[in-house]
């Protein structure tokens, strides 16, 4: 989370205590967001999380995310492992194995910052399409809303 190529997009304090306060309840299963480690050749290189938009209705409303949709976020923390195509592979496998294994999820909608071209490219390669541009309340930048439907995953 503190690697410069990752922290540039998170806009939050990333000291160990802050990370533990935010992500600890997710890891412990107390909060509805579920977090995972991304591994490649049995080596951790990033993290990925998913959540139901119905658990975050204010954010969902700003994105136009319907209740039967989920959101995901991820980061490849090892700079040397970026640009190798691992992001789209991680996204697709995560959707197939985890997110769409939940029968009530019909779509995945996420909202990377519009200047986060690496993230947007990974989602596009994973079959996501552009849905909208939004600026969330309290933020000074715009986000690109991208989505993929359960049926779209069958085509990738």
Domain ranges of the chain: 4-153
Residue 34 has pLDDT above 90, yes or no: yes
φ, ψ for residue 56 (rounded to 5)?
Answer: -135, 65
**What is residue 21's predicted lDDT score, i.e. its pLDDT?**
82
* 81 confidence band (pLDDT: 50, 70, 90): low
Residue 95 tokens, joined: 């959707």
Q: Find the angle CA(96)-CA(86)-CA(5) to the nearest 5 degrees.
A: 120
CB 45 within 8 A of CB 77: yes
Within 10 A of 127 (CB to CB), how many other CB atoms are there? 20
Could you tell me the fold of the domain covering 4-153?
Aminopeptidase (3.40.630)
The structure's pTM equals: 0.85
Instruction: Identify the residue whose tokens are 């509805």.
Output: 32
Region 32-37: what's the mean pLDDT? 92
**Per-residue pLDDT tens digits for 89-132:** 999 999 999 999 999 999 999 999 999 898 999 999 999 999 99
User: What whole-number percentage of the chain has pLDDT above 70?
Assistant: 83
């Amino acid at each position: 989370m503190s690697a410069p190529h990752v922290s540039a997009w998170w806009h939050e304090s990333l000291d160990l205590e802050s990370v533990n306060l935010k992500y600890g309840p997710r890891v412990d299963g107390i909060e509805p967001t579920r977090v995972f480690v991304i591994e490649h050749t049995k080596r951790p290189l990033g993290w990925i999380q998913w959540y139901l938009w119905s658990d975050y209705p204010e954010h969902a409303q700003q994105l136009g995310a319907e209740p039967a949709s989920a959101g995901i976020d991820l980061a490849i923390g090892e700079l040397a492992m970026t640009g190798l195509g691992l992001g789209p592979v991680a996204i697709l496998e995560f959707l197939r194995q985890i997110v769409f294994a939940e029968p009530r999820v019909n779509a995945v909608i996420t909202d990377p910052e519009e200047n986060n071209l690496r993230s947007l490219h990974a989602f596009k390669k994973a079959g996501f399409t552009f849905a909208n541009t939004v600026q969330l309340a309290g933020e000074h930048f715009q986000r690109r809303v991208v989505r993929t439907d359960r049926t779209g995953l069958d085509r990738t």
